[in-house]
């Protein structure tokens, strides 16, 4: 639903109710205090290559061509990456090379010699100023990323590894790596013999989406414990959005309740249907008879969503997701075939199963996602019922794709 973003974000894991969400993916902002630790090889070599080429051509062609001012390319390229020490060193090296060839060509007291030396000195000074400005911007960006990460972790709290008779895991990949805040939301609430969950996709991205996420999750967390009926939970969230956001935003959402009677009840607010993976490997996508409008569009709706039910028995798995998963396309424009990838969820550990699915999604897109992708996996008492059907090694060794 959101705009195209920068790319995938790094992994952060934690168990229980502290730290990053289990199986979630986060990107911790880094400062650039170390010189050139992440400098690309080509950009790192380019300043020295420029100095060598200019010196070689000048020696071969002689002073008549007048290439000495091109020594300024060395410090100019050095200012693109790295720190001020490296830039100052390359600038000094360029000045030494220029002075040496000025003496060699006999241009010490000529205007051409002064102009060449002045060009290199000026380029070095300008590059040093540019490095200082770039470092300040990088530090500001790192600070913004850290603040955004704290804000997102405060909103998207870790889901419990066990919720009643269920085991749970979540994976979140933001398309907006710079902002660190996406537009997808999730929550698991446990109480009074039932588990209630929500997965949603907010209109928009970045800071504008944060307010909407906060309103929706705050209302859901309170209503999920207070309201006896699932429809009243949805109504509370709808009222909160109407009151706080004044109809400016909307959210597609799926609210579910899993009780102890072997079934799951859903409210679908214009959201992709959940994926049910049966203990025998069969895949279903339960859908309502009629979809309701997203949350926040109550003024345009004739009635709210009607709850619908699906059997959810021990050994079954329930995957709730956002459209960043099913609408991810490969180079040929083919959507991600989520139903065909259900066997990837067969790993005994839910978080590892979601990681296998995320890796496969990355391979399918072969590049950065264009929308946030959130997945929430619920397993019905797998520790007592054995592993799901078709459990196999998900092949998760090796580096995480980026």
Confidence of residue 140 (pLDDT cuts 50, 70, 90): confident
Of 35-49, 116-130, 292-306, the range with the lowest mean pLDDT is: 35-49
Confidence of residue 175 (pLDDT cuts 50, 70, 90): low
Which of 108-117, 184-193, 336-345, 379-388 has maximum average pLDDT?
336-345
Q: What is the pLDDT of residues 242-272, one digit of tens each?
A: 887 766 688 999 999 998 777 899 999 999 9
Q: What pLDDT, on the 0 to 100 scale, is given for residue 356? A: 94
3-state helix, strand, coil in the chain (%, to 5): 45, 15, 40
d(CA 55, CA 64): 14
- In this prediction the pTM is 0.65
Average pLDDT over residues 30-44: 52
Average pLDDT over residues 314-336: 92
Of 163-167, 229-233, 338-342, the range with the lowest mean pLDDT is: 163-167
Of 70-79, 315-324, 335-344, 362-371, the range with the lowest mean pLDDT is: 362-371
Q: What pLDDT, on the 0 to 100 scale, is given for residue 21? A: 39
Quickly list DSSP for 114-150.
HHHHHHHHHHHHHHHHHHHHHHHHHHHHHHHHHHHHH
CA 25 centroid distance within chain? 7
253 Cβ neighbours under 8 A, 6+ residues apart: 198, 199, 200, 201, 216, 237, 269, 270, 271, 294, 295
Portion of the chain with pLDDT greater than 90, in percent: 36
Q: What pLDDT, on the 0 to 100 scale, is given for residue 206? A: 66
Contact 229, 259 (CB under 8 A): no
Q: What pLDDT, on the 0 to 100 scale, is given for residue 246? A: 67
Q: What pLDDT, on the 0 to 100 scale, is given for residue 173? A: 79
Is the pLDDT assigned to residue 389 strictly greater than 70?
A: no
Q: What pLDDT, on the 0 to 100 scale, is given for residue 221? A: 93
Q: What pLDDT, on the 0 to 100 scale, is given for residue 11? A: 34
Q: Pick 249 or 86 by higher pLDDT.
A: 86
Contact 307, 287 (CB under 8 A): no
Q: What pLDDT, on the 0 to 100 scale, is given for residue 5? A: 35
Q: Pick 147 or 85 by higher pLDDT.
A: 85
Q: Are strands 263-269 and 251-258 parallel, antiparallel or unpaired?
A: antiparallel
Q: What pLDDT, on the 0 to 100 scale, is given for residue 247? A: 60
Contact 296, 247 (CB under 8 A): yes
Is the pLDDT assigned to residue 101 strictly greater than 70?
A: yes
User: In the chain, what is the straight-line distance between the N-terminal and C-terminal CA atoms, in Å?
Assistant: 22
- How far lies 307's CA from each of 257, 303, 380, in Å? 10, 12, 21
Q: What is the pLDDT of residues 364-380, one digit of tens each?
A: 988 777 788 899 999 98
Residue whose tokens read 């020490």: 85
Q: What pLDDT, on the 0 to 100 scale, is given for residue 1? A: 55
**Mean confidence (pLDDT) of the chain:** 79
Quickly list DSSP for 309-352.
EEE--TT-EEEEE-HHHHT-B-TT-PBP-TGGGGGGGGSSSHHH
Is the pLDDT assigned to residue 340 strictly greater than 90?
A: yes
Closest residue by Cα to residue 24 from 181, 243, 170: 170
Of 11-15, 53-57, 102-106, 317-321, the range with the lowest mean pLDDT is: 11-15
Contact 282, 390 (CB under 8 A): no
Q: What pLDDT, on the 0 to 100 scale, is given for residue 25? A: 40
């Amino acid at each position: 639903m959101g705009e195209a973003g920068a790319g995938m974000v790094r992994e952060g894991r934690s168990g229980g109710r502290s730290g990053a969400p289990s199986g979630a993916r986060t990107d911790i902002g880094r400062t650039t205090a170390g010189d050139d630790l992440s400098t690309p090889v080509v950009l790192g070599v380019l300043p020295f290559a420029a100095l060598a080429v200019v010196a070689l051509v000048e020696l071969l062609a002689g002073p008549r061509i007048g290439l000495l001012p091109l020594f300024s390319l060395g410090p100019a390229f050095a200012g693109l990456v790295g720190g001020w020490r490296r830039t100052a060193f390359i600038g000094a090296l360029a000045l030494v090379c220029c002075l040496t060839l000025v003496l060699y060509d006999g241009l010490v007291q000529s205007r051409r010699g002064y102009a060449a030396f002045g060009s290199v000195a000026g380029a070095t000074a300008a590059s040093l100023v540019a490095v200082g400005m770039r470092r300040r911007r990088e530090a500001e960006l790192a600070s913004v990323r850290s603040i955004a990460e704290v804000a997102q972790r405060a909103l998207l709290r870790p889901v419990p590894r066990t919720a009643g008779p269920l085991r749970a895991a979540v994976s979140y990949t933001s398309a907006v790596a710079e902002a660190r805040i996406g537009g997808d939301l999730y929550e698991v609430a446990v109480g009074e013999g039932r588990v209630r969950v929500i997965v949603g996709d907010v209109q928009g991205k970045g800071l504008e989406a944060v307010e909407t996420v906060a309103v929706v999750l705050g209302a859901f967390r309170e209503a999920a414990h207070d309201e006896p009926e699932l429809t009243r939970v949805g109504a509370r969230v709808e009222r909160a959005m109407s009151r706080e956001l004044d109809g400016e935003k909307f959210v597609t959402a799926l609210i579910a309740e899993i009780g102890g009677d072997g079934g799951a009840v859903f409210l679908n607010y214009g959201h992709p249907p959940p994926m049910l993976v049966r203990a025998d490997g069969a895949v279903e996508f339960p859908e309502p008879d009629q979809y309701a409008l997203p949350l926040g569009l109550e003024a345009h709706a004739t009635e709210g969503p009607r709850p619908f039910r699906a059997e959810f028995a021990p050994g079954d798995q329930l995957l709730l997701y956002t459209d960043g998963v099913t609408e991810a396309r490969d180079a040929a424009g083919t959507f991600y075939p989520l139903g065909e990838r259900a066997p990837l969820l067969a790993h005994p550990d839910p978080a590892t199963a979601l990681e296998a699915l995320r890796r496969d999604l990355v391979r399918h897109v072969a590049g950065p996602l264009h929308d946030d992708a959130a997945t929430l996996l619920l397993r019905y008492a797998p520790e007592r019922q054995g592993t799901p059907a078709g459990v196999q090694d998900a092949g998760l060794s090796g580096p995480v794709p980026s």
